[in-house]
Amino acid sequence: MKIVFFTRSKDSAISIGKAFAVLIDEISKSQQVKSYYVPYASYSLYKMWRNILYVYRNRTKTGINHITGEIHFCMFALIGVKSVLTVHDLGFYTNKPMSKIKKAYLYLFQLYFPFCLADKIVAISDFTRDEIIRLVPSVANKVVRANHHSVDEYIYTPKITINKDKPVILQIGTGSNKNLETTMRAVKGLNCHLRIIRKMTETQVQLAQELGIDYSNDWNLSNEQLVAEYQNCDIVCFPSIYEGLGAITIEAQAVGRAVISTNKEPMRSVAGGAAILVNNPKDAEELRSAILSLISNDSLRNDIVAKGLKNVENYKVASCAQQYINIYKKL
């Protein structure tokens, strides 16, 4: 079976390409695979058109073409050939304020037409699946669930005891949905170090300085460096407001770190009962209480870590790859 993968430009954020690269390598062990990155990250009409042409020129007419996420509009290049579209989340449409004209434009060219053109739509979480069906009900029979984010590279190195004198609290992500500002307020006055991965905005830096917290910030890390960040921390803080999956939770679980996440979908399901879940991610006091619980209660923390190791079995690369191969075989 021949499968051609198309992934958003390398100039975009790396998360989708990173997650799928491992999956594509695994699928290539049993299938004939080619993989391309579209050339442009911009969403100008001209660059979008150039990306569509690129996909059209490199598509397979006899095998299966797979758009791995975000560049949904490239489905226009796959009319008349077998196609799969993976949808990570729809936050770009549901969560951002925009004009009515832009919202209509996004609906047509990033949701409605691409979803209608795809032979199969793969949702990476139950939450994303439900959002797809809610926004475009006519494609409900095309939508299937599959895990794509594997965690095989994350080495299980649990800490039986943590640095209670000055624990390292890791937060990955600085976008508005990642809720970094609440984390910073939650650790104000605590004797801890807040390690922040992804470049902070000037406003976030100013807030950290005003709060007087001990923090450091780094970005553009390699996969190996990111794994090391998990290994070097004591607790992972992930009070996200919106996610398509929430892979940070399973990455932390794979390394053996206790996680604080949000008690809403998809974060709740992804955690698999192996995290402290805050009901209101904007409540700094609730988040602070969760952090203090993990610092002080060894039994609670170690129980969460043990349950997390079991949860990550669902995200091993061989299992994820087989889910996709089963989808391809049905086309």
Q: Taking residues 79-93, report their average pLDDT.
A: 94
pLDDT at residue 115 in the model = 98
Pairing relationship of beta strands 235-237 and 215-218 according to DSSP bridges: unpaired
Please give the Cα distance from 238 to 225 (Å, whole number).
19
Cβ–Cβ < 8 Å for 269, 204? no
Domain boundaries along the sequence of the chain: 1-149+315-328, 166-311
Instruction: List, in sequence order, the alpha helices (H) in the chain.
Output: 15-27, 45-58, 91-94, 100-106, 113-117, 126-135, 180-186, 202-211, 223-232, 247-255, 267-271, 284-296, 298-311, 317-329
CATH superfamily of 166-311: Glycogen Phosphorylase B; (3.40.50.2000)
Give the whole-angstrom CA distance, residue 19 versus residue 201.
25
From CA 218, how far away is CA 292, in angstroms rounded?
A: 25
Contact 7, 17 (CB under 8 A): yes
Provide the CATH number for the domain formed by 1-149+315-328 in this structure: 3.40.50.2000
Helix/strand/coil for 278: strand
Report d(CA 139, CA 144) in Å as an integer.
11
Tell me, what's the pLDDT at 212? 97
Tell the residue number behind the tokens 């475009």, with chain if given: 136
User: What is d(CA 71, CA 191) in angstroms, rounded to the nearest whole number?
Assistant: 43
- Measured in degrees and rounded to the nearest 5, phi and psi for residue 79 equal -65, 130
The residue assigned the tokens 């006899």 is: 62
Are 201 and 178 contacting, i.e. CB atoms less than 8 angstroms apart? Answer: no
Q: Give the list of residues 6+ apart from residue 259 with CB closer than 8 angstroms, or none.
A: 235, 236, 237, 238, 248, 249, 252, 253, 271, 274, 275, 276, 304, 308
Q: Return the pLDDT at 18.
A: 72
How far apart CA 56 and CA 47 sit, in angstroms, is 14
Q: What is the pLDDT of residues 240-272, one digit of tens each?
A: 999 888 889 999 999 999 999 999 999 999 999
pLDDT interval class at 287 (50, 70, 90): very high
Residues 208, 79: Cα–Cα separation, whole Å = 50
Tens of pLDDT along 26-76? 999 999 999 999 999 888 899 999 999 999 999 999 999 999 989 999 999
Interatomic CA distance for residues 191 and 68, integer angstroms: 42
CB 257 within 8 A of CB 235: yes
pLDDT per residue over 94-111, tens digit each?
988 899 999 999 999 999
What is d(CA 126, CA 216) in angstroms, rounded to the nearest whole number? 35
166-311 matches 1-149+315-328 in CATH topology = yes
How far is residue 252's CA from residue 111's CA, in Å, rounded to a whole number?
32
Q: How confident is the model at residue 12 (pLDDT cuts 50, 70, 90)?
A: low
Structure tokens at 130: 């439900």
DSSP letter string, 133-156: HHH-GGGGGGEEE------TTS--
Q: How many CB atoms lie within 10 A of CB 76?
A: 18
Least confident of 18-27, 76-85, 151-160, 170-179: 151-160
Per the rule left: phi > 0, alpha: psi between -120 and 50, beta: everything else, 220 is left
Rg over CA atoms, the chain: 20
